[in-house]
Amino acid sequence: MNCLMQSESKFLPDFSHIYIESGAKDFDLTQKCIKNFPKAKVIEISDYKSFFNRSGQDFQTQKQSMKLILAIKKPPYIYKGTDILQDGGYKNFYYNTPMLNCLYNCSYCFLQGMYPSANIVVFVNQIDMQDAVKSEIVKREYKDQPLMLSISYNTDLLAFENILPITNDWIQFAKHNSNLNLEIRTKSALYHSIKDIKPSDQVLLAWTLSPDIIVKKYELNTPPLSKRISAIKSALDDGWKVRLCFDPILHYDGWKEDYLELFNEVKSSLILDQVSDITVGVFRMGNDYFNRIRKSKPISDIFYENYSNCDGKKIIDSEKQREINQVVSKFFFGHFDTNKIYFWY
């Protein structure tokens, strides 16, 4: 049975088991999780890695019945940004990992190649991560710029907010640290879970949008496009900074018509002048992750296409990249400041 249940008002996973590191038992987040899932079987473990990193696990099988693991994060707590992430022009660009893995199951996601397990890991010692960020703010190389921290690099925190208020905690943390900006990337429609928080210019809510045909085929368990757009509209109306992410744009027969329909829906539903910026990306993935996924014989046709090799990653060829660039630029010209459209290939 699929472990995700979604309606217009709620999004709740159904965890049958919660594995808790012995040192994580007394943390507030641990107690909240146990309270939220009273029927779950609680099992104490000594070290989450011995469970999470076991050999012979099947990522997609586990996706059908994910387990929750509560653990203590050990250093390092913060990482320099990688070329997979859009830095938005920030020179002090970092990411962290409050959680490992995602409630959603996007066919093109690199996480299925990064981790041996699809189970969700929540690090309950968030305060240690925040202390590390404070230290990095002081040490940051470019003192004239704030530190930009992506907190949803390998998860979707907002999708989890009905369970644990981790997004809320990080927003409040940023408000008390003037040289810190946050990017919170999501496909979730759960904006209402943070709606009562006063908007902050230090926080950028970044929604990934895809045509409905892509959502249904490749972005499994995610909210439909209409709900994401509705959440974005509410966030913009409330005064939040919002980034629109068309990433990845998939290139296939009929892609242009599908994405133009998406762009038109966005243009007709949102006041684009309120949007902070737009990022555009194509399918790309590190060779190690790609090959690991391909070896598992995935169902998705994405991993059986022909790709170019460039700087250690698989990516669509340059002609297709240029075509995507031209289609996006032509559509938004005159509707949005094209200087605020960032292409990420």
For residue 76, cis peptide bond before it (omega within 30 degrees of 0) = yes
Write down the pTM of the prediction. Answer: 0.95
342-152-133 Cα angle (round to 5): 100
Q: What pLDDT score does 345 carry?
A: 83
Q: Which single residue is written with the structure tokens 């905690």?
A: 169
Q: What pLDDT score does 84 carry?
A: 67
The span from the CA of 19 to the CA of 23, in Å, is 12
Neighbouring C-beta atoms of residue 302, cutoff 10 Å: 20
Q: What pLDDT score does 7 carry?
A: 42
Q: What pLDDT score does 86 carry?
A: 72
Mean pLDDT by 10 residues, the chain (345 residues): 41 85 97 94 96 94 95 97 76 96 96 96 98 98 96 95 95 98 97 97 98 97 97 98 97 98 98 96 95 93 95 95 97 95 89
Q: What pLDDT score does 344 carry?
A: 85
The span from the CA of 316 to the CA of 113, in Å, is 18
Domain 75-97+125-344: which CATH number of 2.160.10.10, 1.10.3720.10, 3.40.50.720, 3.80.30.30? 3.80.30.30
Provide the phi-psi class of 238: left if phi over 0, else alpha when psi is between -120 and 50, else beta.
Answer: alpha
> Tokens in use for 6?
């979604």
The secondary element (H helix, E strand) that includes residue 293 is: helix 287-295
**DSSP line for 45-71:** ES-HHHHHT-TT--HHHHHTT--EEEE
Give me the residue spans of the domains in the chain: 75-97+125-344
User: 3-state class of 256 per DSSP?
Assistant: helix
184-186-187 Cα angle (round to 5): 170
Terminal C-alpha separation, the chain: 37
Q: What pLDDT score does 286 carry?
A: 94
> Tokens in use for 44?
């104490």
**Type of residue numbered 308:** S
